[in-house]
């Protein structure tokens, strides 16, 4: 039954992603397989079931929660006669819509071409079919080769462009001198921008969608006369496409080069423990897991708790653990300073600020040991 709960959470998240990209979801399909089908990812019976539903209800797109191989995509599209998106494609689409600076746009474009390159043949079969089933003769391999070359050249160009901006950004970071730098990290939509806003009194875009934050913003924050720089970074997400991890290198450099990480967690979300793991996983990947960290559990105002009756014999679920119990658990097991807040209602801000102040001060003192 825990598997089923997980599955619902994953599908909820996928639906939220689809909503962020601008789609409305009509129906969910799931299938249990010990191993995905190498040719079509799902079984043929399930594919047929979806195909019929799509036809009957005039559905435009079918979205898969995993990354499909180029041939799986091609086979599924052919079999179900509908546009297929996989998770990577969907996430890339959202990033493309939301990229605001030229840097972010370049990063997304690069990731999109890297995704497209091995899937190029699919577009051709597609076009051929539209032209009336000329079959495999069509425009032929040479044109696909030409297209591949154009895309490869474009990828090289974009990488060069990014390298140049990376250098500029590295210089900018160096110029920030010895001021302590803290970076907000956390799963997407946990409240990083909101916290940034209330700490720096600036207006950073915050909304209830996934990846509202694409570009990093840096703000000067002062707590008790102690100034430091605070960076808001892109939200991490489960199964972040590898193309993105690669091309958002510089965004992640802000994290890698930070002196202190402020890990924001949405305690009102049922899968918050999974989210913590996903974030720690990315931190490992970029080799930033050994930095000083503060755990900030956010959205305590939105925490819901279903109290169990004493004679209720059904096993405990996450839902009937109270906030107090979570606090006790995490205070005991976290090796980092930990605090529970509401960024929206500014609850427990003095306590959080004290923690941040202490950590920043420690780093500051280690840097300027002879100052008073
Ligand atoms: P980010 O993606 O981590 O930067 O998250 P945002 O700051 O954009 O916040 C995502 C959503 O959560 C927004 O709708 C916020 O208003 C909401 N939010 C942020 N902090 C809190 C909080 O403490 N309590 C509640 N109830 N909602 C919050």
Q: Which tens digit of pLDDT belongs to each residue from 343-356? A: 999 999 999 999 99
The span from the CA of 298 to the CA of 262, in Å, is 12
Q: CATH topology of 2-85 equal to that of 179-367?
A: yes
Atom of ligand 1 nearest to the CA of 343: 23
Contacts for 273 with CB less than 8 Å, ≥ 6 apart: none
Q: Are 193 and 344 in contact (CB under 8 A)?
A: no
Alpha helices in 65-215 (DSSP H): 70-80, 87-98, 102-116, 120-130, 141-175, 192-200
Q: Are 231 and 182 in contact (CB under 8 A)?
A: yes
CA 265 to ligand 1 centroid distance, Å: 10
Q: For the domain with range 2-85, which CATH number is right: 3.30.920, 3.40.50, 3.40.720, 3.30.420?
A: 3.40.50
Class of domain 179-367 (CATH, top level): alpha beta
CA 212 to ligand 1 centroid distance, Å: 10
| Mean residue pLDDT across the chain | 82
Listed in order, strand segments (DSSP E) in the chain are 61-63, 83-85, 181-186, 217-223, 226-232, 260-266, 293-298, 338-340
pLDDT at site 140: 56
Report CA Rg, the chain: 24
CA 149 to ligand 1 centroid distance, Å: 44
Confidence category of residue 169, pLDDT binned at 50, 70, 90 = confident
CA 190 to ligand 1 centroid distance, Å: 6
Is the pLDDT at 20 greater than 70, yes or no?
A: yes
The structural domains of the chain, with segments of one domain joined by +, span: 2-85, 96-159, 179-367
Atom of ligand 1 nearest to the CA of 197: 7
Left (φ > 0), alpha (ψ -120 to 50) or beta: where does 196 sit? Answer: alpha
Interface predicted TM-score (ipTM): 0.99
Query: Beta partners for 298?
Result: 266
Pocket of ligand 1 (CB under 6 A): 186, 188-194, 206-208, 212-213, 235, 298-299, 301-302, 342-344
- Higher pLDDT: 162 or 169? It is 162
CA 189 to ligand 1 centroid distance, Å: 6
Ligand 1 site-directed mutation target among 13, 206, 233, most atoms within 8 Å of CB: 206
Atom of ligand 1 nearest to the CA of 298: 23
Helix (H, G, I), strand (E, B) or coil at 270: coil
Q: What is the pLDDT of residues 36-82, one digit of tens each?
A: 999 999 999 999 999 999 999 999 999 999 889 989 998 999 999 99
């Amino acid at each position: 039954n825990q598997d089923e709960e997980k599955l619902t959470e994953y599908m909820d998240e996928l639906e939220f992603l689809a909503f962020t990209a601008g789609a409305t979801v009509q129906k969910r399909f799931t299938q249990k397989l010990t191993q995905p089908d190498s040719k079509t990812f799902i079984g043929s019976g399930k594919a047929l079931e979806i195909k019929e539903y799509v036809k009957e209800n005039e559905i435009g797109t079918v979205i898969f929660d995993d990354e499909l191989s180029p041939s799986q995509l091609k086979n599924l599209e052919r079999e179900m006669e509908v546009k297929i998106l996989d998770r990577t494609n969907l996430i890339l689409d959202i990033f493309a819509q939301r990229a605001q600076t030229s840097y972010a746009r370049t990063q997304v474009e690069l990731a999109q071409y890297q995704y497209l390159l091995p899937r190029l043949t699919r577009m051709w079969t597609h076009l051929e079919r539209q032209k009336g089933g000329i079959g495999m003769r069509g425009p032929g391999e040479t044109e696909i080769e030409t297209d591949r070359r154009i895309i490869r050249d474009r990828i090289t160009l974009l990488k060069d462009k990014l390298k140049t901006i990376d250098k500029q950004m590295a210089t900018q970071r160096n110029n920030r001198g010895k001021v302590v730098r803290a970076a907000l990290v956390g799963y997407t939509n946990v409240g990083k921008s909101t916290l940034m806003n209330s700490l720096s009194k600036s207006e950073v875009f915050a909304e209830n969608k996934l990846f509202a934050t694409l570009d990093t913003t840096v703000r000067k924050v002062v707590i008790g006369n102690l100034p430091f720089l605070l960076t808001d970074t892109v939200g991490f997400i489960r199964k972040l496409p590898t193309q993105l991890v690669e091309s958002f290198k510089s965004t992640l450099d802000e994290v890698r080069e930070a002196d202190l990480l402020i890990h924001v967690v949405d305690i009102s979300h049922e899968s918050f423990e999974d989210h913590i793991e996903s974030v720690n996983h990315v931190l490992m990947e970029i080799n930033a897991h050994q930095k000083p960290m503060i755990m900030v559990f956010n959205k305590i105002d939105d925490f819901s708790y279903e109290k169990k009756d004493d004679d209720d014999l059904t096993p405990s679920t996450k839902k009937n653990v109270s906030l107090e119990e979570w606090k006790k658990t995490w205070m005991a097991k976290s090796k980092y300073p930990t605090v529970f807040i509401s960024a929206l209602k500014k609850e427990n801000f003095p306590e959080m600020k004290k923690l941040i102040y202490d950590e920043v001060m420690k780093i500051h003192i280690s840097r300027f040991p002879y100052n008073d």
